[in-house]
C-alpha cells in the first residue's frame, strides 16, 4: 500500500507539521516507510506506532504506567487520511482509533537512531 502525498507547494512543506511526500507499507505490512519533503526517510514498525498511539485508551494505559498491548506479529491493516493533517492506522489486533498527525510521525521518526534511519 502506498499513499502519495502532495504537499511540495505548501508554505510549511519543510516544517514539522508538513505532510510527508510518501507513505508506504512494506510487503509484510509490518512497517511504514515515510519520506519527508526535506529528503529524510524513516521506517516505523507497527509495534512502535501502536505503542505510541494517541487514542484515549492508549493514553490512559500510559498514564496508569501500563504498556500499550502489542504483539510481535502485529501488522498494519489499513491507513486512512484524516483531513490534511494526519492519518488513522488500523492494526491487526483490531485497534483502529489512533490518529497520527504529521508532527507525531515526524517526532517518532526522529527518535530512531541515525544509523537505523533509511537513507
Task: List the one residue out of 77, 100, 117 whose CA is nearest residue 17.
Answer: 100
What value, to the nearest 5°, has the Cα angle with vertex 43 and ends 78 and 14? 100
At which residue does the C-alpha cell 489512533 appear?
98
Q: Could you list the pLDDT tens digit for every one of the 119 residues in the chain?
A: 555 544 444 444 445 678 999 999 999 999 999 999 999 899 999 999 988 887 777 777 778 877 666 677 999 999 999 999 999 999 999 989 889 999 999 999 988 765 555 54
- For the chain, domain boundaries: 2-116
Q: What is the DSSP-derived secondary structure letter of residue 47?
A: H
- Please report how many Cα atoms fall inside a 13 Å half-sphere around the Cα of residue 8, on the Cβ side: 7
- pTM, two decimals, is 0.77
User: Quick one: CA torsion of 31, 55, 68, 64, rounded to 10 degrees?
Assistant: 160
Q: What is the DSSP-derived secondary structure letter of residue 79?
A: E
Instruction: Write the CB contacts of 101 (distance below 8 Å, at least 6 apart in sequence).
Output: 17, 85, 86
Domain 2-116 grouped into CATH 3.40.50.300: no
Amino acid at each position: 500500500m502506498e499513499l502519495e502525498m502532495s504537499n511540495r507547494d505548501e508554505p510549511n512543506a519543510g516544517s514539522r507539521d508538513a505532510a510527508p511526500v510518501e507513505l508506504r507499507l512494506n510487503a509484510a505490512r509490518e512497517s511504514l516507510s515515510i519520506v519527508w519533503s526535506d529528503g529524510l526517510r524513516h521506517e516505523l514498525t507497527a509495534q512502535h506506532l501502536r505503542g505510541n498511539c494517541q487514542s484515549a485508551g492508549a493514553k490512559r494505559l500510559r498514564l496508569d504506567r501500563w504498556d500499550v498491548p502489542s504483539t510481535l506479529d502485529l501488522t498494519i491493516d489499513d491507513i486512512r487520511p484524516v483531513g490534511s493533517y494526519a492519518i488513522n492506522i488500523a492494526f491487526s489486533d483490531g485497534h483502529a482509533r489512533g490518529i497520527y498527525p504529521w508532527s507525531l510521525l515526524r517526532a517518532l521518526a526522529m527518535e530512531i537512531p541515525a544509523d537505523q534511519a533509511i537513507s
